[in-house]
Every structure is written in structure tokens, then in C-alpha cells.
Structure 1
Amino acid sequence: MGIFPGFGGWINQNIQQSLKASTKRSEKGKSSSVSEEERYLQGPWYWNPALSPKEKAESMELDHVKSMPMFASDPKYYDSDERVRQAGLWMSENKKHPWHDEPAKVKVKTKNGICHLNIYFTLGRPPQSVYEMFTDPRNVGFFHSMGKYKNHWRTRLDTIATKVLKKDGPRQITEVEKVLRWKILGYNGTIPIHLIIDENHQKVSATYKKVKVKHMKVFEGSWKMEPLYVDQERLCKSRSHISEDEYKKCSGGKGRIGSKVTMEHIFQPSSLLNVPPISWFIRGIAVKVTKTLIQDLREHVIMMNKIEVLDPAGGK
């Protein structure tokens, strides 16, 4: 499936080396080396453009990139202030005008041993915020599994390492190594996943293809996020298609923007495993884990939107 036109040439150029770890150690005996467990700290990262030079310098003194005010997607291609404003709107409007995210609709079709998953769901955060959740390699807990494993809050999907292969405007080609933990019907295990992801930070979309995925001959797909004007009918009295600027104007800046997420995932077990009943078991695990990861995202966003915002006077 040709989801990466001209992609081979980009990879062969190998024009950009792995980004160095953003972690800066103090001079008081701390090692500057990056451990095997911290390889994912290598980026890619983009500083919050709202930071002053002083704030950026102070942030560089932090020991861990998880604590740094950085983005995984390039803020040149969206309004970071508007994203923050929308987050506040979602939290402040939740009680007065609750919004219920649409559960994921997953259509599964298998043909010639290749399984196609077409997925659609909604989330109560703007497309750029949702895109950041999909691309952020800092393991910040979007895909959690509390109580499922020995270590509480251990994530189902961890990023181990990242490497930017090409950056061309809003387009970024990233090599990513992940580990996926699964548990189904009393069985559990881990699957190493090595991917190349072709991201577009302006179109908030991406395609991906395997370098190597255990037990998989084919493993590729895509995702995209589109704006969902959840308060349009209530505040704008209109059901017709409008732009984001028109929505902001007619809603008086009080309209929340959610996301319509469309995903396609295609996989095929390796030849020796692509025979019944083994192939049924592998497909069952793949579909179940995909649905679980999506549900993790939904629960994370629902939880965030339930946080109550305090006004400057100390009231709610």
C-alpha cells in the first residue's frame, strides 16, 4: 500500500541525526549520559513560543523533559494561545453544557488475510490538542492501565526512542520505537513496535508504516483530526458548514471546538501465523488493544474536562 509517496528517497538521505536529549544536568555530580530507559527523551521537541528568554533559560535547568514547556508538534502551524483558551472553555462549560464524546465506531474487514480497521470517534478537545496526544513521545499517561500490571499507572503504550529523519515545513518524518502491553482472556505480553511516521503538523494528519513489528507482515495506517463545532447549534443557530473564524464570531468566542478523529489501521500477521485459529487469536488481540487505547484517550479527555476552573477571586 503506497501511503508514503517518494518516501524511500527521504529515508535514504538520512540528513538529520538523532536529536540530543533535552535534559540538562546540573554540575553537582549528575551524569550527562542518557540511560537506556531514557532514550525517548531525544525529541522531537518544540519550545512553547510564549516563553520569554528568561523562562526558557529557567526551563533548561529542569532535570526531566516531561517537566519542560515543550510541544511535540510545531507551534508555527497553529495558535497555541487559542489551544489554551479552548482548554479553559472545555473545563468551565462542562457542568452548564455537558458534552458526551461519541464512542468509537470500529469497522473490521478481513480480505485475503489482510485486516482493515476503519475507526471514527469524537473527543472534547481541539484537533491540535488531540494531535499532540497522538504524537507526544514523553509517555505522559494518556494510555494508562492502573491496576492492570504490577506497577500502578504503567502505560499500555510507551515510547522508547524517537529520531527525526526529515523536517520540511509542516511535514516531519519521524522514526519511533514503542512497546505495547496487552492483556486479554487471561493472557498478557508485550509487543515491540518500530514505525516510520509521516506527520503533517498543519493538516493535523499522519500516516505510518512499520519498520519492524513482531509477528506482523503488514502494519500501517493513518489518522486525521477535523474540527467539531459542538456549540454551533446552541450559540450560532445554524447547522450549515462554517469556518473556525465564523464560528468564533457567531459564538462570541464562547464556542467549544472538539475533534472528529478518523483512523485507518491495516495489518496482516506473518505468513506462519496467518492461518486459523492462530490468525483469529492475533486479530482478536489487535482489534481489542486498538479499542482499549482509544478508550484510554476518551477517558483521559473526559477526566480533564471535568476539572473545575477557579476564577481569580477564588470562586468557581
Structure 2
Amino acid sequence: MGIFPGFGGWINQNIQQPLKTSKRSKNGKSSSVSEEDRYIQGPWYWDPDISPKEKAESMEIDHVKSMPLSATDPRYYDLDELVRQNRLWNSEKKHPWNGAPAKVKVKTKKGLCHLNIDFTLGSPPQSVSEMFTNPRNLMYFHSMGKYKYNWRTRLDTRATKVLKKDGPRQITEVEKVLRWKILGYNGTIPIHLIIDENHQKVTATYKKVKVKHMKVFEGSWKIQPLYVDQERLCKSRSRISEEQYKKCSGGKGRIGSKVTMEHIFEPSSLLNVPPVSWFIRGIAVKVTKALLQDLREYVITYNKTETVDPLVYAKIKESIQKEKETELKELED
């Protein structure tokens, strides 16, 4: 939750190119990959501090889910600070902070349904952005209820392809599948989107290429830092900068995320008549709320455990090793 020297060359080779899928078999030879595994092609960024040896060792790992990779370009944020924040969230047990469930306001006008969504999460903005866009099908949207025992997520990525990379801006084509189950009915909906992200501002807009049963399917999100310990540690409610927050909290202040989203959809013409349109809108709104709750539950569970993303784990391991080396050096002196 990273880049590495030379990634620009890799990404330039892949821009506007069709997805090519290959997988290393046990005997070291490449073989074709099923549709379910196409997402492993990227987009990916490596930890900029990773050595060639560590990178080579990571490339030998069987699955991309276990590699120290990121879908967000860390040239535009402080990776070390992000790692430090993750450690704070994992270690703070006396003052748990879970954030409130999402507030979803629904308004329908002339066939268009507008969802205005506000929620908070106990994780830094870059980490939340990573959860929104990471194509590894990690358990961010894993229902704690309906799908608990079959290891399936509500939202899976099937394929991704970078169309344009310009500084912090990245335009990616994404194919997903959404699973839903309501009142005894269930099904899947293929979703094909273009996502336009800004990794520095931590914002994005998206628009459909094709979404089943939808004439309009688009929206945006903005993720802002939330200084959850400001009142407790800084004794202040006034707006302050991240640097001021770090100083007044003695470096112990956790940074969460305030997420503002807008989602707009309209059922296709033949389905945009009552009572069918009511049913489709009901499913869309309910599934959206369920996805947001899945994400909230994931973050709460994550903060209660010591389990971290492979890239974050690698950085934490590195920082601990440096601390030990410093201590040893001081003892020798």
C-alpha cells in the first residue's frame, strides 16, 4: 500500500495493449490462465526501497495476492508514514475507533437515481483508496453473513488494464462481477468500467463501458484525512494540518478517512418502468449499502489483528530491523 524504479517502462508497454495472461507452473514453464486469473496482470507498483534480490524472491511466490505489491502509486504519498499509521491502528487497543455506518441519501428524478454517500473508516486515505481499486480480490468485500462459508466475495475483479498514466493520474479499464442476494433471489451482474484516479488527491471518477440492465452507471469518490485522536490528544477541535496533528499528538495520533461518494444509475429503458424499476433500484441501493458495510467490517477486523498487507508487512519488518541495528550500534559505541 507502492513503486519501483523502471515501472514506467513496464506500464508504457502495457498501455493500450490487450491483456496477455500467463502463469508459472510448478515446473517453471508458462501456461495459459483462466478468466478468473486475468486480474493478476496489474496495474502494480513495487515498494521503491525493495532490492533486486527481494524483488526476484517475490516474483517466485505462487500468487500475486502474497506479493508486496500495490495498486496505488506511492510517489504521491509517504509510504513510511502510511506504514507507521498502520502500526498505530493495529497497536491501539485502549481507544478503539470504528467510525459510523455509511449514510446513504437516495434521490430519484426523471429515471435517474442519485446516491449521496458519506462514511468514515479507521484507515488512512491511501489505504482506503487501495481497497477501492486493488485488483487482487482480497477480502475487502467479503460478507460476514451470506457468503461466510463459501469464501466468495460480493465483488470480484476479472481483469484490469491501464489505458493512460500521466503523473498522479491513472485511467484504468476494469471488469468486475457483482454478486447479490435479496429476498431469496440471487444473481451476478458483470460490470465493465473506466476509472479515472488521482493518486495524489485520492479522488476518482468512474463511468460504465457496459453494465447489465443499466443505461447510466457512473459516479465519483473523494477520500480525506480524518484526525480521529485530535480532540483526545491535542485537546482541540479546530482544523489543523497533518504536520500540526503529528506534532501535538506526539506522533501517536491515528489518521482515518472521511469518504464522500456519489453514485448515479438508471435502469435500461425497457426496465425503467414500475414495478420492475422499483425492484432494480431496490437491489442496487441495498447491495451498495452491503458493500460499504463489508468494507467497514473488514477495517474493524483488520485493526483488531496483527495481519497486514504484504507490502506493509515488508516495510514494518524493515523498520524493525533498522531499529535493532541502531540499538546495536549505540551499544557498541
Partner of 1:194: 192
Deviations 1:172-210, CA, capped at 9 Å, x for gaps: 000000000000011000000000000110111100000
Q: Tell me the TM-score normalised to structure 1 length.
A: 0.89
Partner of 1:49: 48
Partner of 1:68: 67
Q: Tell me the TM-score normalised to structure 2 length.
A: 0.84
Partner of 2:78: 79
Partner of 1:100: 98
- Give the letter aligned to residue 63 of structure 2: H
Partner of 1:230: 228
Identity %: 83
Q: 1:280 and 1:27, CA in 2 relative to 1: closer, same or farther beyond 3 A?
A: closer
1:176 corresponds to which of 174, 177, 181: 174
Q: 1:43 and 1:55, CA in 2 relative to 1: closer, same or farther beyond 3 A?
A: same
2-side partners of 1:79 and 1:26: how far apart? 36
Deviations 1:246-272, CA, capped at 9 Å, x for gaps: 111111110000000110000000001
CA contact 2:192–2:208 (8 Å) conserved in 1? yes
Structure 2 runs not aligned, ≥5 long: 1-13, 308-319, 321-333
Q: 1:45 and 1:18, CA in 2 relative to 1: closer, same or farther beyond 3 A?
A: farther
Q: 1:241 and 1:40, CA in 2 relative to 1: closer, same or farther beyond 3 A?
A: same
- Give the letter aligned to residue 52 of structure 2: P
CA contact 1:121–1:261 (8 Å) conserved in 2? yes
Partner of 1:277: 275
- Give the letter aligned to residue 178 of structure 2: L
Provide the aligned C-alpha RMSD in A. Answer: 1.9
- Give the letter aligned to residue 200 of structure 1: N
Partner of 2:326: none
2:135 corresponds to which of 119, 134, 137: 137
Deviations 1:9-59, CA, capped at 9 Å, x for gaps: xxxxx95324655x7626725433222221111110001123122111111
CA contact 2:267–2:277 (8 Å) conserved in 1? yes
Structure 1 runs not aligned, ≥5 long: 1-13
1-side partners of 2:147 and 2:89: how far apart? 32
- Give the letter aligned to residue 46 of structure 1: Y
Q: Are 1:35 and 2:34 an aligned pair?
A: yes
2-side partners of 1:49 and 1:29: how far apart? 27
Q: CA deviation at 1:111?
A: 0.2
- Give the letter aligned to residue 125 of structure 2: P
Partner of 2:3: none
CA contact 2:15–2:162 (8 Å) conserved in 1? no
CA contact 2:161–2:174 (8 Å) conserved in 1? yes
Mapping 1:256-275, distance limit 5 Å? 256-275=254-273
Deviations 1:43-94, CA, capped at 9 Å, x for gaps: 100011231221111111112111110000101111111111111101211x
Please identify which structure carries the higher helix content.
Answer: 2
Q: CA deviation at 1:224?
A: 1.1
Q: CA deviation at 1:109?
A: 0.1
Partner of 2:310: none
Structure 1 counterpart SS, 2:140: coil
Partner of 1:17: 17
2-side partners of 1:148 and 1:104: how far apart? 20
CA contact 2:105–2:117 (8 Å) conserved in 1? yes
CA contact 2:15–2:161 (8 Å) conserved in 1? no
